Structure 1
Amino acid sequence: MIRQHGGPDVLTLEETELPPLKSGEALIRNTACGVNYADIYEREGDHGGPHSAKPMPIVMGHMAVGIVEEVGPDVSSPPVGARVGYIGPASYAEHTVMPAARLFPLPDALSDEVAGGYLLRGLTAEYLVRRLYPLGPGKTALVHAAAGGMGILLGQWGRKLGARMIGTVGSDEKMQIARSFGYDAAINYNTEDFAARVMELTDGTGADVIYDGIGKSAFRASLDCIRPRGMVISYGTASGNVGAFDLQLLHSKSIIVTRPTLRSWIADPEEARAAAGATFTFLADPDIRTPIGAILPLSQAAEAHRQLEGRVTTAPIILKP
């Protein structure tokens, strides 16, 4: 938990009492807790990010998988002993209380580690490529940070749907990583003008859709390599918030720009269950590669944040209670 905003060192391991279960709630014994960049925003107190301000102290985390250990009144499903995943607060913990209706049963073919590392990323990828801008044959997608935790999912899922996938990365080594995860072409944005290269690769047309998890350093140039009536999806801000920009920049090509967040795409329980089902089917596919960057004990949550901020690994980090 944290008792003040700041760097990784404000994370402390403490014991606290859990409240009795209320009607409709379940107690989850966490087995694998995911670490996401949104956790860093919350730790730093950046409320321009996906999480609003909360009173201190804050138990960190927003995603985990585990075992249903106890259920409250009026809960018939999932049963005690079921393996489940969830998107919800206070997941950096041995146990978390969640509404039973917001728990996603895990298929046997999916390990705790993969589900814990990829649940939030997988659900994000699902709405990005299947619902917000459905990919398929004849579509060309540009993905920024193609060798990162989200990028390797988007590349594989887009390729599986039949789209042409182009990725930008920050080094020649990461170009090879991107190609190995489904990208037809990779661009090193530190040595090439990625917008000019995308226009070259698309014969001057531009990409149909751009998935931008970088934000400030990539957004403006993305407008130069999207096709007329194409969509630029700013779903993350690893380099900082995009900030204000002139809306007239969209005018000449009728560009569509959107800034979505996962919670609005899984707010409806039925939509959420359908999205989770599609995500688990994708993650459990033997042709899909889901590497884990690091597995650390819960007590080393600060180290997990340092590794994520320092981009030490290109794959998800897991905390094990």
Structure 2
Amino acid sequence: MIARLTGSYLPTRSISRLVEKVKMTPIPAVQKAVLIRETGGLDVLRYEQDFPVPKIGNNEILIKNKYAGINYIESYFRKGIYPSKKPYVLGREASGVVVAKGDAVTKFDVNDKVAYLSSNTFAQYTKISEAGTVSKVPQDSTDEQLKLYAGSLVQALTSLAFVREAYPVKKGDYILLYAAAGGAGLAFNQFLKKAGAHTIAVASTDEKLQLAKEYGAEFLINSSKDDVLARVLEITNGQGVEAAFDSVGKDTFETSLKALKRKGTLVSFGNASGPVPPVAINILTPKNIKLLRPSLFGYIATHEEWESYSSELFDLLHSGALKILISKTYPLEEYNQAAEQLESRKTVGKLMLEISQD
């Protein structure tokens, strides 16, 4: 019957567009979002209920977000460590449903369920290019599965890419891993164990270390009471580690360098304790050390790279070969509480936001 609404038959393409319009939910002009209008402490975080919904271009889709993952990187933008144009909506990963698409979009349709990496995800709506880091997920995905997709993209993909490319981990390697019970740390533990490495996990409490062990760590160091360097040298018989994955930054940089063996690799990728100060390049000379400051986006810059890594990640999640510990989910309006918990090192695993659909 739908083909005869005007009294004459419509072309198939017109039918498709009409059905799509019937399915579309009206897009509001404003939305709820968490953002900053200035840099500073937790007090600059704003939850606004009348922030403009982004307008999409011909090659873009608009996603109504259901879940967004919380990452330490949000604090870097809030503090001004990473620059941003204000006002700036926080967030780097999410999952949800496509609610509108540009005229030139061919890869996505309205009502597709998707997971994606992008800025501005702490909001009810986010726009992204169809050529960007966004993928369809099964249409029958449950809310819990959508939460899992949104909670795995930044940290699990970082871990997967870094053990493949930042330092290609080999069987038998000794690897030093900081923040071993956080969202990224638990993923690192699993990928390092799968590669056959001996993971030396560092965390601030015995409880966190036991969790790291459950996820694959072999050796445990409590940074609150142990001498990290002394323990690393003891574990490695004075040789040091092949590589260190250090997300802490300023406070651990020197220790990580000293813990490396000759021709070792330091992968510094976070600023949890503050940015690493400028270093003289000749500090790398005595042991022929390699120093990297990589980002995930440098490894998924092309469509082929994104497809390769994201499809492998989703396969691992579907099969149960990769476990993501989601320790707590907050409503969007309580992000400031989640940020305080994360930055005070009181959390393990992954923190999430559930975004209001109203």
Displacement of 1:127 after TM fit?
1.3
The counterpart of 1:32, out of the listed 64, 67, 87, is 67
Tell me, yes or no, if the aligned pair for 2:54 and 2:126 is still in contact at 8 Å: no
2:166–2:292 contact (8 Å) kept in structure 1 = no
How far apart, CA to CA, are the structure 2 residues paired with 1:282 and 1:226?
Answer: 31
Partner residue, 2:186: 152
Match of 1:286 among 320, 325, 338: 320
Structure 2 counterpart of 1:127, one-letter code? A
Residues 1:304 and 2:338 are matched in the alignment: yes
SS of the residue corresponding to residue 352 of structure 2 reads: strand
> Cα–Cα, structure 1 residues 84 and 242, in superposed 2: closer, same or farther, change >3 Å?
same
After superposition, residues 63-74 of structure 1 pair within 5 angstroms as 63-74=93-104
Question: Deviations 1:122-175 (Å, cap 9, x if unpaired)?
Answer: 121121111221223122211011111111110011111222211111122222
The reply on whether 1:125 has 2:159 as its aligned counterpart is: yes
Cα displacement (A) at 1:60: 1.6
Amino acid paired to 1:186? L
CA deviation map 1:49-80 (0-9, x unaligned): xxx331x2222212111111221111111232
Q: Tell me which residue corresponds to 2:136.
A: 105
Superposed, 1:231-310 pairs within 5 Å as 231-310=265-344
1:114 is aligned to 148
Partners of 1:8 and 1:303 within 8 A in 2 = no
How many residue pairs match? The answer is: 316
Q: Distance in 2 between matches of 1:153 and 1:125?
A: 6
Q: Does 1:93 align with 2:128?
A: no
Superimposed CA distance per residue, residues 74-105 of structure 1 (whole angstroms, 9 cap, x where no aligned partner): 11112322221111121111111111122122
Which residue is 2:226 aligned to? Answer: 192
1:150 partner letter: A
Q: Which moved more, 1:79-88 or 1:21-30?
A: 79-88
Whole-angstrom distance in 1 between the partners of 2:315 and 2:253:
32
In structure 1, the gaps of 5 or more residues are none
Q: Which has the higher contact order (CA 8 A, sep 6+)?
A: 1
8 Å Cα contact 1:126/1:278 also seen in 2? no
Give the SS at the match of 1:273. Answer: helix
Give a deviation string over 1:224-245, Cα, whole Å, max 9, x none: 2211111000011111111123
Give 2:264's aligned residue. Answer: 230
Q: Residues 140, 78 of structure 1: CA spacing in aligned structure 2 closer, same or farther, 3 A cutoff?
A: farther
**Contact map agreement 2:201 2:219 (CA 8 A) in 1:** yes
Indicate the residue corresponding to 2:241 in structure 1. Answer: 207
TM-score (norm 1): 0.93
- The match for 1:62 is 92
Match status 1:169 vs 2:203: yes
Q: Is the 8 A contact 1:84 1:104 kept in 2?
A: yes
Read off the aligned partner of 1:279 and give its amino acid letter.
Answer: L
CA distance in 2, matches of 1:166, 1:124: 19
3-state SS in 2 of match to 1:179: helix
Asked whether 1:79 is paired with 2:121, we answer no
Give distance in 2, aligned partners of 1:93 and 1:240: 27
What is the distance in 1 between the residues matched to 2:319 and 2:251?
34
CA contact (8 A) 1:215 1:234 kept: yes
Distance between the aligned counterparts of 1:290 and 1:249, measured in 2? 37
Take 1:196 and 1:7, find their aligned partners in 2: how far apart are those partners?
35
Bigger radius of gyration among the two = 2
Alpha-carbon contact 2:66-2:96 (below 8 Å) kept: yes
Shift of 1:249: 2.4
From the superposition, tell whether residues 42 and 297 of structure 1 become closer, same or farther in structure 2 (CA, over 3 Å): same
Identity over aligned pairs, percent: 33
- Aligned CA-pair RMSD: 1.7
1:273-303 deviation line (CA, Å, top 9, x unaligned): 2111122223334243211121111111211
> What secondary structure is seen at the aligned counterpart in 2 of 1:123?
helix
Gaps of 5+ in 2: 1-34
The match for 1:14 is 49
CA distance in 2 between partners of 1:282 and 1:132 (Å): 21
1:19 CA drift (Å): 4.2
